[in-house]
Amino acid sequence: MTEPVLKVSGIRAGYGEEDVLRGVSIEVGRGTIVAIIGPNGSGKSTLLRMLIGEQRPDGGEVRRGANVQVAYYDQLREQLDPERTVFDTIADGSDLITVNGQPQHVHGYLRDFLFSKERVNSRVKSLSGGERNRLLLARLFTRPANVLVLDEPTNDLDIETLELLESRLIEFPGTLLLVSHDRTLIDHVVTSTLVFDGGGTLQEYVGGYEDWIRQQPDVTIDSSKGPGNAVVKAGANAASRRAARQADRAAAPAKATYREQQEFKELPDRIEALETEQRELSAKAASADFYKESGETIKATLERLTTLETEIFEAYARWNDLDGRIR
What burial class does residue 102 get, using C-beta atoms within 10 Å of its C-beta: 0-12 exposed, 13-18 middle, 19+ buried? exposed
CATH 3.30.360.10, domain 6-69+145-251, yes or no: no
Tell me what pLDDT residue 245 has.
54
Pairing of β 147-151 and β 70-72 = parallel
Return the number of other C-beta atoms located less than 10 Å from residue 95's C-beta: 9
CA distances from 321 to 247, 259, 263 (A): 21, 14, 12
Tell me what pLDDT residue 220 has.
42
Which residue(s) pair with 9 in the sheet?
61
Tell me what pLDDT residue 247 has.
60
d(CA 163, CA 157): 10
Tell me what pLDDT residue 234 has.
67
d(CA 43, CA 37): 9
Question: Any idea where the domains of the chain sit in the sequence?
Answer: 6-69+145-251, 76-140, 258-326
Residues 6+ apart with CB under 8 A from 165: 137, 153, 154, 157, 185
Return averaged pLDDT per consecutive 10 residues of the chain, 327 residues in all.
80 80 88 87 84 87 89 70 92 83 88 89 90 89 90 81 87 90 88 82 83 65 39 60 57 62 84 89 87 88 89 83 73
DSSP tally for the chain: helices H, then strands E? 11, 12
Tell me what pLDDT residue 249 has.
52
Q: Write down the CATH number for the domain with range 258-326.
A: 1.10.287.380
d(CA 327, CA 282): 35
Tell me what pLDDT residue 250 has.
54
DSSP state of 16: T
Q: Give the predicted TM-score (pTM) of the model.
A: 0.65
Same fold, 6-69+145-251 and 258-326: no
d(CA 247, CA 155): 27
Where in the chain does DSSP place strands (E)? Answer: 6-15, 18-28, 33-37, 59-64, 70-72, 96-99, 102-105, 147-151, 175-179, 192-196, 202-206, 232-234
Tell me what pLDDT residue 86 has.
94
